[in-house]
Amino acid sequence: MASRGSASMASVITGALASLLNAHAAVNAHAATAPVPAHAALLVTMGRAVYQQHCAVCHGERGEAARGWQQPDANGELPAPPHNAQGHTWKHSDAMLYRIIQEGWRDPFNKTQRLTMPPFKSQLSRADTLAVIAYLKTLWTPEQRRFQTEESHGHPFPAEAP
């Protein structure tokens, strides 16, 4: 049986995650306009910090991709693609982006079987993952954000972290 303190902490965590999802909805709702509400701006700021710490080394400081990302490297693997408007990240639903970040990804065009993007589930919490996705959305055009929002309607973020 959970102690009173753990039940209280679980309630706080559940409330914080609900706030993050609401902030995400605000980012999506303001896809074509700026500025976003303060709670969404805080989520984007958090996401930018997570991105700089964990993603920029491969995907570039501003999501511009690894050098030569469109050509296989010596191992037959495609380098990290861009996450900005020149890339294709915006074509994926929230559920797919969440899964790629948490579980990693193997580009089907690669000649090796290894994951070309490692899983981050041991380094990034659910909140971190939601935040970095909110930040990525700021790198896209309004039209791309609208498309991605529509793509996510049937494929939202998972209800709870695995």
For the chain, which residues make up each domain, given as ranges? 4-153
**What pLDDT score was predicted for residue 26?**
54
Print the SS3 string covering the chain.
Answer: CCCHHHHHHHHHHHHHHHHHHHHHHHHHHCCCCCCCCHHHHHHHHHHHHHHHHHCHHHHCCCCCCCCCCCCCCCCCCCCCCCCCCCCCHHHCCHHHHHHHHHHCECCCCCCCCCCCECCCCCCCCHHHHHHHHHHHHCCCCHHHHHHHHHHHHCCCCCCCCC
Compute the distance between CA of residue 116 and CA of residue 102 in angstroms, rounded to an integer: 13
- What pTM did the predictor assign? 0.76
Q: Which of 33, 108, 47, 112 is nearest to 83 (CA)?
A: 47
**The domain 4-153 belongs to what CATH superfamily?**
Cytochrome c-like domain (1.10.760.10)
**What pLDDT score was predicted for residue 44?**
94
Q: What is the mean pLDDT of each run of 10 residues along the chain (162 residues)?
A: 44 47 53 59 94 95 90 88 94 96 87 87 95 96 95 87 46
- In this structure, what token pair is assigned to residue 71? 């050509």
Q: Which of 109, 121, 134, 110 is nearest to 49 (CA)?
A: 134
